[in-house]
């Protein structure tokens, strides 16, 4: 497996041209996010990723995590890397200063998280869950819960987990059976949860579980669910650890990839019941949980980008050193690496273009959340939040699908050696494959996009984005045609909103169309700025040319095909008319 080197030049360029980080830093609370500090943070994150985390990727894949006498043992080096992560203050990067964080923009934190996830997705999953726990507790928790738990979650001294899924209730959250019974000012939790990432581990002395359970008098379905904070160890009034809570990891799942990340079956209440405290109001657990899930979905989309970048670096390194065959461009005898073959070059450029598109989309979505939380103008905050809500399912689904595609292409670049585990290419594909499934499958994301984000407001938010793209677009004919196709598709979905099965049958291709077009629009700004710098003889000419060529490839081979998705979006009658028995 090749070493990981953070693509800092590309990251900085996207932050400058898509996120407009200098302008973002003028928002209230971000005054200290000056250029020198941003550069120092990025360089420090890159060093930590390449030197501390990246060497653990193949170690973690081979060793995996193991359950021994009720304790999960993580692979060699994981505990030391996590301690260095906490000691370096990295966990607190994007949290508000009021709760002990560094108060830096989320867009910058996303950039750093990309590096750590590229270095080892299995390792980076742990702090990802803690971020969600902090956000849920900060927004919905009582003052006492915040006092006891936020400081150590923000610092990373303790980690958080998210507990939704149960054996009989996968995506059907309303079918959950885990129950909560009142016990004074607290609750006793009994039930079982599955697929709980880092539900048990040896990295920190305490784990703070956010558990969705059925309230004592709650109605059936999702309306009767509440969110509870259930710590592995109870916490005394002075913040010290008390007795072990009534919860345990029953087993670990044996997975296709991310072997180092312990995916736990968790049992709550084998005896008297695990003690937990209500977060938010009773029977409003889904509202609280979505605070965690929206963050997680953005971060999962980022995983698609991050693993794709690692797979690309692996494939590029192999293609530049592997010698096989004489390329058609060779003018003399000699030894040539396979990067000289036209199709290998095409595959690498396809990987590079899709990564650039994902990076632009993920960073842009993160910057919208910064505006939504920090802009002084209420209307601006509301508009940014609405656009972020529209794009988060696109980020999650489109980027994770692209991540799998890029990782698969990386295997193809290696040829037969890609199918051999020793090269490392297969691990990237195996690791990437979970991302389209968890935090709501990509089909669920598409349903959310169409049903909740487009049809519920009559297409207003989507239409506003389409109009904004038209008004600010600097791209060419392919982008204009893509925007037109997205406009037509959106209007069709709104017009047929009452025909639920018909429109949801085309939800996945609609999400794909949205991802391609919005990413193409963002890349157009990158190409325009690269050309401006090239004409003005600013910066590195080779780098500027590489940006222009990458965007041109995306336009010609990906964006140009976007309008062809329209028949699939409007083809629900064929889907629903097909005999189920004939499938």
Residues marked active site are found at: 439
245: DSSP letter: P
Task: Report whether 43 contacts 6 (CB < 8 A).
Answer: no
CA distance 213 to 192: 10
Beta-sheet pairing, 241-244 with 159-163 = unpaired
Phi, psi values for residue 144, rounded to 5° = -70, -40
CA distance 59 to 391: 35
State whether residue 217 is helix, strand or coil. Answer: coil
CA distance 206 to 320: 46
CA distance 555 to 516: 10
Tokens of 74: 């993580």
Task: Report whether 515 contacts 553 (CB < 8 A).
Answer: no
Contacts from 171-175 at CB under 8 Å and sequence distance 24+?
171/440, 171/441, 171/444, 173/212, 173/222, 173/225, 173/286, 174/220, 174/221, 174/222, 174/225
B/e letters for 97-128, b = 16+ CB within 10 Å, e = fewer, are eebbbbbbbbbbbbbbbbbbbbbbbbbbbbbb
Angle formed by the axes of helices 285-319 and 378-414, nearest 10°: 40
CA distance 420 to 83: 33
The angle at the Cα of 262, spanning 261 to 265, to the nearest 5 degrees, equals 145
**Token pair 């407009």: residue:** 20
């Amino acid at each position: 497996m090749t070493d990981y080197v953070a693509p800092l030049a590309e990251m900085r360029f996207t932050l400058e041209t898509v996120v407009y980080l200098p302008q973002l830093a003028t928002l209230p609370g971000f005054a200290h996010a000056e250029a020198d500090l941003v550069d120092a943070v990025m360089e420090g994150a890159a060093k930590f990723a390449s030197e501390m985390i990246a060497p653990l990727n193949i170690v973690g894949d081979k060793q995996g995590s193991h359950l021994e006498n009720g304790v999960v043992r993580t692979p060699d080096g994981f505990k030391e890397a996590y301690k260095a992560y906490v000691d370096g203050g990295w966990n607190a990067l994007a949290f508000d200063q009021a709760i002990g964080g560094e108060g830096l923009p989320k867009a910058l934190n996303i950039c750093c998280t990309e590096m750590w996830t590229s270095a080892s997705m299995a390792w980076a999953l742990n702090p990802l869950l803690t971020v969600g726990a902090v956000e849920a507790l900060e927004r919905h928790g009582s003052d006492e819960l915040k006092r006891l738990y936020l400081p150590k979650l923000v610092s990373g001294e303790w980690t958080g987990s998210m507990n939704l899924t149960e054996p009989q209730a996968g995506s059907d959250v309303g079918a959950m059976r885990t129950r909560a019974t009142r016990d004074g000012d607290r609750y006793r939790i009994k039930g079982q949860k599955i697929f709980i990432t880092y539900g048990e581990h040896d990295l920190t002395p305490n784990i703070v579980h956010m558990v969705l359970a059925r309230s004592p008098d709650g109605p059936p379905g999702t309306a009767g669910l509440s969110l509870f904070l259930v710590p592995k160890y109870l916490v005394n009034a002075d913040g010290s650890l008390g007795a072990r809570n009534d919860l345990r990891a029953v087993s670990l799942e044996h997975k296709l990839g991310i072997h180092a990340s312990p995916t736990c079956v968790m049992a709550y209440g084998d005896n008297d019941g695990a003690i937990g405290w209500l977060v938010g109001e009773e029977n409003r657990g889904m509202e609280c949980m979505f605070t965690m899930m929206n963050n997680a979905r953005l971060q999962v989309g980022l995983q698609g980008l991050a693993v794709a970048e690692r797979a690309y670096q692996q494939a590029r390194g192999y293609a530049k050193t592997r010698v096989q065959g004489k390329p058609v461009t060779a003018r003399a005898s000699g030894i040539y690496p396979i990067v000289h073959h036209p199709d290998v070059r095409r595959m690498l450029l396809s990987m590079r273009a899709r990564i650039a598109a994902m990076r632009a989309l993920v960073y842009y979505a993160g910057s919208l959340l910064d505006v939504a939380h920090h802009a002084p103008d209420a209307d601006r905050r509301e508009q940014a939040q609405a656009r972020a809500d529209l794009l988060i399912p696109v980020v999650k689904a489109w980027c994770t699908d692209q991540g799998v595609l890029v990782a698969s292409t990386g295997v193809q670049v290696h040829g037969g050696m890609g199918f051999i585990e020793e090269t490392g290419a297969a691990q990237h594909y195996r690791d990437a494959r979970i991302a389209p499934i968890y935090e709501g499958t990509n089909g669920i994301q598409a349903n959310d996009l169409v049903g909740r984000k487009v049809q519920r407001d009559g297409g207003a938010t989507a239409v506003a984005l389409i109009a904004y793209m038209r008004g600010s677009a600097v791209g060419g004919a392919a982008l204009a045609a893509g925007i037109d196709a997205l406009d037509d598709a959106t209007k069709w979905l709104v017009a047929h909103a009452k025909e639920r099965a018909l429109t949801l049958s085309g939800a996945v291709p609609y999400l794909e169309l949205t991802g391609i077009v919005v990413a193409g629009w963002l890349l157009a700004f990158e190409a325009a700025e690269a050309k401006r710098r090239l004409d003005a003889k600013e910066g590195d000419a080779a780098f500027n040319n590489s940006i222009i060529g990458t965007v041109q490839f995306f336009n010609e081979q990906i964006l140009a095909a976007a309008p062809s998705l329209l028949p699939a979006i409007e083809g629900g009658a064929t889907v629903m008319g097909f005999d189920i028995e004939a499938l």
